[in-house]
Amino acid sequence: MQSWRPVWQASHDNARWSVFASHCDRLAALARDGELDEVETAIAPLVDLLTALRQPGDAEKARVDQLLPGVFAAVRAALSQRARAPERSAGDDTLPLVVLLAKEIAPYHELLAQMVHYGYTFKVFTQFRHGVRYAVMNRAVAVVAELDGTLDEETSAVVTELNRCNLKWFALSPEGSFKVRLQAVRHDAQGFFVAPLTVNTLVDAVDPLAFESKDEPYRVLALDDSPTVLATVERILSQFPNIHMRGLREPSRILETLMDFAPDVLLLDFHMDGCTGLEVARIIRQNKAFESIPIAYLTSETSEEVQQEAMRQGGDDFLTKPISAAQLVNAVVSKAERYRGLRRLMVEDSLTGLFNHVKTKTLLQQTLLLADRQGVPVSYAILDIDHFKQVNDTYGHTTGDKVIKALARFLRQRMRRSDVVGRYGGEEFVVVLFDSTPEDALERVETLRKGFGGIFHQTDQGMFASTFSAGIAHFPAYPTMMELMVAADDALYASKRAGRNRCTLADRSIPD
Ligand code: GH3
Ligand code: MG
């Protein structure tokens, strides 16, 4: 405004115009960087006018006079909006980000409110270009782009940019015709939603992207008494960052190394000094813990008969020397993948992917042993959904399952890596908090309880919220696994008796 007054006073003074023009450029750049859409839109015609200005005069002055009030109004509105809580975002910066590019914000208020309960920062942009820039700068886990039933030119440019930046995007369309789905697929859409978009659908789609298990590298143990063979295997496998290899030359150390390194695949020399690979395989298979670890023999043996006998005795594959890189890597990866899948099946609960009952108890026992050795406290909590039978009775079993899955997802997201989260069965969950005092555990479980109660579950018969009750017991106050479990169970029932939707701490104090 200060630079406009001099122009206004002398509308034929080019120097004054150019100071004013530079101020407008600066404001436009600020608006762009600050994603102040309204300001950017308001100032654009002014910048255009000033850029094209050759012989300024009264007509230009009148036009600027017309445009300026709009710019000021937009700046004022943007400033006051900044002062208030942001209207179009939910969540905080540490949570994974999902960006929605939509024509209007209003239809998504509910989604905005809900996504934060599911552990996401969620932002809606009506200016697609700004949304994309925001998504790129903040490494969004996913972008959802609303289509008008077709991919218009602007949306097409936007998703091309997303693809270029390696961001995953989903199409959201009012209709799901083959034609529009085909368009989306051709633009590398990760998925396709037909409006209206519900929080469950969105979360189910983006969860795998946000919580992609950063799988640890496959561990490969190679037992061979020849340093040359070990070096060759190492040279080949070291080119793959997702494979971690360890070499061993002494067969006598196989069991302790298996225990310590826990490989996903064992490469076993067929002929060694002092024993054969077959004998080593039999020793390994006699241990329950290693009865299903994949074994691939490294051998120069080409006799089919010998190979068949080796397979019969617990081998899974033969890699003939000289080892080919492709053959080795294929064998290692395919076997490791299958073995991991198998182990996962054995420890996971199929509905939720959390640890199952047996595995949770094993992990609890291990955690207590470790805590005892290190002298750190452990808290153990049992969570049970309140009136879950009513949920099933009112909304059906499938909705009941969704509530269980929602709680599982919620727990997984909110827990630390060192914590154990398991489903004990039914609507009962367990969390084991390593290095956690009773006060810390109570605070964390209370936060979970309140957060879960804020989630709305959508059904055809409307939305509802669900709660859980919890009981927490503490190690070493309850020094054995049995005592700990019984105490937490009693505390849970105290919560239920006291009216549900609360946490109770088992109250035995810690011995001196
Ligand atoms: P409370 O507040 O006392 O815990 O009451 P509640 O209704 O939650 O407890 P109750 O033990 O009476 O009922 C639990 C119900 O959970 C009964 C069972 O049919 C149901 N259930 C158990 N496992 C599953 C499951 O995997 N999926 C679904 N949908 N329901 C399950
Ligand atoms: Mg229950």
Q: Which ligand number lies closest to the CA of residue 495?
A: 1
Max CA-CA distance within the chain? 103
pLDDT of residue 82: 58
pLDDT of residue 86: 39
Q: Which of 210, 238, 272 is the last residue of a domain?
A: 210
Same domain (yes/no): 136, 176: yes
Same domain (yes/no): 380, 481: yes
Same domain (yes/no): 144, 202: yes
* Domain extent for 369: 357-505
Please give the average per-residue pLDDT across 371-379, as a whole number.
92
Q: Which of 191, 210, 229 is the last residue of a domain?
A: 210
pLDDT of residue 456: 87
Same domain (yes/no): 200, 268: no
pLDDT of residue 239: 87
**Integer Cα distance of 442 and 473 in angstroms:** 10
Same domain (yes/no): 152, 41: yes
Same domain (yes/no): 364, 415: yes
Residue 275 has pLDDT above 80, yes or no: yes
In this structure, the number of other CB atoms found within 10 A of the CB of residue 302 comes to 10
| Count of domains observed in the chain | 3
**Integer Cα distance of 20 and 283 in angstroms:** 86
- Does residue 133 line the site of ligand 1, with CB under 6 A? no
**Integer Cα distance of 441 and 435 in angstroms:** 10
Read off the pLDDT band of 80 (50, 70, 90): low
pLDDT of residue 85: 38
Residue 498 has pLDDT above 60, yes or no: yes
Same domain (yes/no): 205, 226: no
Shortest-distance atom of ligand 1 to CA 399:
29
Positive or negative, the CA dihedral 460, 461, 465, 470 is negative
Please give the average per-residue pLDDT across 76-102, as a whole number.
69
Same domain (yes/no): 112, 199: yes
Kindly report the backbone phi and psi dihedral angles of residue 100, in degrees, each rounded to the nearest multiple of 5, phi listed first: -110, 130
| d(CA 162, ligand 2 centre) in Å | 44
Long-range contacts of the stretch 241-245 (C-beta < 8 A, 24+): 241/217, 242/215, 242/217, 242/218, 243/217, 243/218, 243/329, 243/332, 243/333, 244/217, 244/218, 244/219, 244/220, 245/219, 245/220, 245/221
Tens of pLDDT, residue by residue over 306-320, are 888 888 877 888 888
- Does residue 387 line the site of ligand 1, with CB under 6 A? yes
In a domain, 512, yes or no: no
In a domain, 351, yes or no: no
In a domain, 290, yes or no: yes
In a domain, 510, yes or no: no
Q: Which residues of 238-254 are buried (b: 16+ CB within 10 A; e: fewer)?
A: eebeebbbebbbebeeb
In a domain, 197, yes or no: yes
Same domain (yes/no): 313, 437: no
Query: By alpha-carbon position, which residue is closest to atom 14 of ligand 1?
Result: 389
Residue 109 has pLDDT above 80, yes or no: yes
In a domain, 511, yes or no: no
Residue 175 maps to which CATH number? 3.40.50.2300
- Does residue 400 line the site of ligand 1, with CB under 6 A? yes
pLDDT of residue 87: 42
Name the more confident of 394 and 216: 394
**Integer Cα distance of 405 and 481 in angstroms:** 27
Tens of pLDDT, residue by residue over 171-194, are 999 999 999 999 999 999 999 999
Same domain (yes/no): 182, 228: no
Residue 442 maps to which CATH number? 3.30.70.270
**Integer Cα distance of 294 and 126 in angstroms:** 53
Residue 107 has pLDDT above 70, yes or no: yes
Please give the average per-residue pLDDT across 218-238, as a whole number.
93
Mutate to test the pocket of ligand 1, among 392, 393, 466, 468 (most ligand atoms within 8 A of CB): 392
Same domain (yes/no): 128, 274: no
Q: Which of 346, 378, 394 is the last residue of a domain?
A: 346
- Does residue 493 line the site of ligand 1, with CB under 6 A? no
Least confident among 21-25, 29-33, 411-415: 29-33
Same domain (yes/no): 199, 107: yes
